Amino acid sequence: MEKGTVIGLLLCNGAMAYSIVVAGASFKAFIDWPSVIMVVIGGLAAVVVAYPMGVFFNIPKVIMKTIFPKVQPTIPVITQLIEFAEIARRDGILALESKTAEIKDPFILMGVQMAIDGTDAEVMETIMRTEMEAMSMRHKQGKASLETTARYSPAFGMIGTLIGLIIMLGNMSNPDAIGPGMAVALLTTLYGAYIANAACLPLADKLGYYSKQEMVLREIIVRGLMAIQNGDNPRVLEQKLGTFLPAKQRGQIARKKEAA
C-alpha cells in the first residue's frame, strides 16, 4: 500500500475539519444534501457524457491504483536482467528457457520468450515499444478521467450556487432567510472545489507519477533485453542500466548480486 496517498488524504480532511472546529462552527452547517446531489451526481453525469461507460466504471479501479500501485522496484529488475545476460553469455540465449518459470513480470517474460525464439532484434524492439505505448495510452486515459471529474465538479458547484442565489433572491421578502440561503448557495461551490482539489487532481497527479516510473522501468527492460540478445558483456550492461539510477543507489546492484 502506498502510505503517502492515504496519509495525504487524511491530512487534507483533517485540516479542513480542524479549521471548522477552531472556527466554532457546526459540521451540520456544512451538510446540504441538495448541494451534494448537484455537485456529485451532476459531475459524474458529465463524465458519463464525456467518456464511454466502460471508462466511467473503471474510475474506482483507477483510484485504487494510487493506493495499491504495481510499479516494481528498479534494482531487482536490473539485477535480474544482468543475471540473464550472464547466463546467455555463458550458456547461450536458449539457456534462458529454464528461467522463464521464475519470471513474474509479463513484459520481461514476453521479451525473453521472443529472444529465445530467435525473433529479429528490430521486430522484438518494435513489439515491446508498441506494448509500452499501449500501456501509456491506458494510463493517460485513467488519469484523464480523474482530471475531467475535477474539471466538471467545480462547474456544477457554481451552477448550484447560481441556482441557490436565484431562489434566495426570489425570496427577498423574508430577510431572515437571506443568510441561511446564501450559506446553502455557497456550499455547492465548496463541494466542487473540495472534490477537485482535495481528491481528483492530487490522485491524477499521483497516477501520472506512477505512469512515468513504470515507463522508465520498461525502458530499462527493453534496453536490457536488447543488450542480452546482442550478446553484450554483463558488466557493460550493468553500467548501461545503472545510469537510470541515482549515483547513491548504483552500488546496491553489486550488493544484490553478492547476496544472491
Asked whether the predicted pLDDT for residue 107 surpasses 90, the reply is yes
Closest CA to 60 of 203, 206, 214, 215: 203
Q: What is the pLDDT of residue 1?
A: 79
What angle separates helix 251-259 from helix 74-91, to the nearest 10 degrees?
60
pLDDT, tens digit (0-9, with 9 covering 90-100), for 67-105: 999 888 999 999 999 999 999 999 999 999 999 999 999
159, burial (CB in 10 Å: exposed 0-12, middle 13-18, buried 19+): middle
Asked whether the predicted pLDDT for residue 183 surpasses 90, the reply is no
pLDDT, tens digit (0-9, with 9 covering 90-100), for 54-66: 999 999 999 999 9
Which residue, chain included where needed, has cell 464511454? 52
Residue of higher predicted confidence among 129 and 172: 129
60-64, 135-139, 226-230, 245-249: the lowest-pLDDT one? 245-249
pLDDT, tens digit (0-9, with 9 covering 90-100), for 130-140: 999 999 999 99
pLDDT band at residue 46, thresholds of 50, 70 and 90?
very high
Q: What percent of the chain has pLDDT over 90?
A: 72
- Whole-Å CA distances, 146 to 122, 153, 154: 37, 11, 13
pLDDT, tens digit (0-9, with 9 covering 90-100), for 13-38: 999 999 988 988 888 888 888 889 99
pLDDT band at residue 244, thresholds of 50, 70 and 90?
very high
Q: What is the pLDDT of residue 2?
A: 86
Instruction: Answer for the pair 58, 146: CB distance below 8 angstroms, yes or no.
Output: no
pLDDT band at residue 168, thresholds of 50, 70 and 90?
confident
Q: What is the pLDDT of residue 23?
A: 85
Instruction: Answer for the pair 38, 161: CB distance below 8 angstroms, yes or no.
Output: no
pLDDT band at residue 258, thresholds of 50, 70 and 90?
low
Closest CA to 41 of 120, 146, 206, 152: 152
Per DSSP, 51 falls in state: S
Half-sphere exposure of 40 (CA within 13 A, CB side): 8
The mean per-residue pLDDT over the stretch 168-178 comes to: 76
